[in-house]
Amino acid sequence: MEFLIKGQFKKGDSFQKFSKKVSADTKTLAIHKVYSILGSNYKCKRNLIKIESVEEVK
């Protein structure tokens, strides 16, 4: 299943919006995958990432 996850993360002094499409078995795993991707790419900790919506893409 594929999920479209939208939200924002803190980058410097401001928040940056993001939209990521990930494939995962469940909604929870998709959220953890986005945390992992943003953490590795932007060195952003999980408590600085705000998930606003999770939608299943058909």
User: What is the 3-state secondary structure of 1-58?
Assistant: CEEEEEEEEEECCEEEEEEEEEECCCHHHHHHHHHHHHHHHHCCCHHHEEEEEEEEEC
pLDDT in tens, 1-58: 999 999 999 999 999 999 999 999 999 999 999 999 999 999 999 999 999 999 999 8
| 26 token code pair | 């469940």
- Cα 15 to the chain's mean position, in Å? 13
Report the CATH architecture of 2-57.
Roll (3.10)
| 14 token code pair | 């401001």
pLDDT (0 to 100) of residue 58: 85
